[in-house]
Amino acid sequence: MSESGQPSEISPLTILAGQYQVVRPLGAGGMGEVLLARDLLLHRMVALKILRASFAGLPGYAERFRQEARLGARLQHPGIVPIYAFGESEGAPFLVMQYLPGGSLGDRLREDGTTSPELTRAILADLAAALAYAHSEGVVHRDIKPDNILLTGEEDRPRPVLGDFGVAMRPMQDLGPGERRLMFGTPHYMSPEQAAGELDLDGRSDLFALGVLGYQMLTGAVPYDGPSEAAISAARVRQERVPLARAAPDAPPDLVAAIERCLAVDPAGRWPRAAELEA
């Protein structure tokens, strides 16, 4: 979740659920915001992700938060942000997560533009390991993007930690009779099948997004762009982009080939499993 022009709905020093004292906003999006808070019972800093009041009463949105809490409680991996608890304050649900002070990969790219081939390779390998674990648990993230990747560790070799599983789904599960799945995600990072509204996404959709991420880290630009979601989708289907070898001529050929394979329009042309990309 990136910075937003929307003001925070919760003032500093506000205490939520009798336990979490708000310190300051960390970021915001259209539907919610992330706050730095002090856990008054356990004496630690945490990040709170809270749904905006205007969305809390709409059908499906609160359930997405509950789903994210359930997934976070189940997914235990060093490359995935742990969720500590789920709560509500005046009808608005919130998640309590580990606070990682190193910022996001999005922050780093906005500041530096690109990352070195060595760091790009290391971050992609770490993310592939986290995704391999999530996929083995039957979970497809569906919203891999720089702002959903937090950084921890040393400045010259940060370790990525994947967060924001609010869009994630277990393929063809968690749907009741008559329900239909809404298309959530971020247009620049969506696989062609996700952008087309396909329901039964598998891990290869996440690998396409990982390829977009790798392309952006090396070049400073996403491979497919346009003034609208429809224009982005059309460029992606027609493969109207600069080949990575030309956009990043100094990148190692094997890294370029690995990222290009992630970006195959046909899922069958991508890496079949994240574990193979990790290797």
Active site positions, annotated: 143
DSSP state of 171: T
User: What type of residue sits at position 76?
Assistant: Q
CA dihedral 9, 15, 20, 25 (to 10 degrees): 30
**276 CB contacts (<8 Å, ≥6 apart)?**
none
Helix axes 105-112, 203-219, angle to 10 degrees: 30
Distance of CA 93 to the CA centre of its chain: 20
Tokens standing for 119? 């760091």
DSSP letters along 79-124, please? TB--EEEEEEETTEEEEEEE--TT-BHHHHHHHHS---HHHHHHHH
